[in-house]
């Protein structure tokens, strides 16, 4: 199967997303967009007129209390809003992308050692649509060892493409967070897509300013940022954000099987599992 070049389209979308709209047209434009895609403008932190561009509206924060972090510290919570695309256990180094399509965790992470440490871990894949809240949060108390930007394509990642295109997530541009928890290693992957040529790394300790992947693009090499000392991020705190909808893959060891079987959609802070009981 052949694919048309999408980099130019993504750059055009990026330019349009950053274009500053005149203040009088912002509310009607954002209201119309929200109505079209099904976004809930009642949840947004600021008046619609205060978002200067479509991009700033996409990456909006929410009002306090709209996404409470549920459960106690032993609870694993959803890192983002979105639809559950796949859930399971990593066996023989593979994850399910869609029915009939498996892929290698080592290729997703571009790190064979981390993939081996995550063998037997549980995973969930969450698809974020344009209507969803686009910020990604820590699913449990964790230590960020570092992150890496992996260059790649910007193919669509919606369910139709996921069912049709083998190794879709390993082809696309992505950011991998290398994580540790009290129960073992974890990884969270933010996968870019058509129109999502920019992912920001925003957790405290990532740098003085948020790191944007569009600034790193242009090299075929993996860009690594390893911390000299792991950075603590509490459950529910922000890790990064998409500048449009896309996909998150979370892989965690040392927890009970994720309780998202039969669940169609998730919201940030919703309990999706618990850490395993400590062995005597």
Does residue 106 have an active-site annotation? no
| Catalytic residue (choose from 56, 106, 200, 246) | 246
Say if CB 106 and CB 115 are below 8 A apart: yes
Say if CB 178 and CB 143 are below 8 A apart: no
Does residue 132 have an active-site annotation? no
Does residue 137 have an active-site annotation? yes
Q: Spell 223-250 as b/e; 16+ CB within 10 A means b.
A: bebeeeebeebebbebbbbbbbbbbbbb
Neighbours of 13 (CB within 10 A): 21
- From the number of C-beta atoms within 10 Å of its C-beta (0-12, 13-18, 19+), residue 188 rates as buried
Q: Is 45 helix (H, G, I), strand (E, B) or coil?
A: coil
84: which residues sit within 8 A by CB, 6+ positions away? 124, 125, 126, 260, 263, 264, 265, 266
| Catalytic residue (choose from 137, 178, 200, 243) | 137
Name the nearest CA neighbour of 93 among 119, 121, 113, 111: 119
For tokens 């990593």, the residue is 90
Helix ranges (H only) for the chain are 7-18, 23-37, 54-58, 105-109, 112-117, 159-164, 168-171, 213-216
| Catalytic residue (choose from 56, 81, 134, 243) | 81
Which residues participate in catalysis according to the annotation?
81, 137, 246
């Amino acid at each position: 199967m052949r694919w048309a070049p999408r980099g130019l389209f993504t750059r055009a979308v990026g330019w349009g997303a950053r274009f500053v709209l005149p203040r009088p047209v912002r509310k009607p434009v954002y209201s119309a967009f929200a109505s079209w895609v099904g976004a809930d403008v009642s949840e947004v932190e600021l008046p619609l007129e205060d978002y200067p561009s479509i991009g700033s509206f996409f990456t909006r924060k929410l009002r306090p209390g709209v996404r409470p972090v549920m459960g106690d510290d032993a609870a694993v919570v959803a890192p983002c809003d979105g639809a559950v695309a796949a859930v399971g256990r990593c066996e023989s180094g593979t994850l399910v992308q869609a029915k009939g399509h498996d892929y290698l965790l080592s290729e997703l992470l571009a790190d064979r050692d981390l993939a081996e440490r995550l063998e037997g871990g549980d995973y969930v894949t969450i698809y974020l649509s344009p209507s969803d809240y686009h910020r990604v949060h820590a699913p449990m108390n964790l230590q960020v060892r570092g992150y890496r930007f992996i260059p790649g394509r910007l193919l669509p990642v919606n369910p139709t493409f996921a069912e049709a295109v083998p190794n879709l997530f390993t082809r696309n541009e992505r950011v991998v967070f290398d994580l540790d928890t009290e129960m073992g290693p974890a990884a969270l992957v933010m996968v870019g897509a058509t129109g999502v040529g920019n992912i920001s790394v925003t957790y405290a300790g990532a740098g003085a300013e948020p790191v944007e992947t569009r600034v790193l693009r242009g090299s075929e090499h993996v860009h690594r940022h390893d911390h000299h000392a792991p950075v603590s991020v509490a459950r529910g705190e922000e890790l990064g954000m998409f500048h449009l909808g896309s996909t998150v893959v979370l892989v965690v060891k040392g927890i009970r099987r994720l309780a998202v079987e039969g669940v169609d959609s998730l919201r940030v802070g919703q309990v999706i599992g618990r850490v395993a009981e400590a062995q005597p």
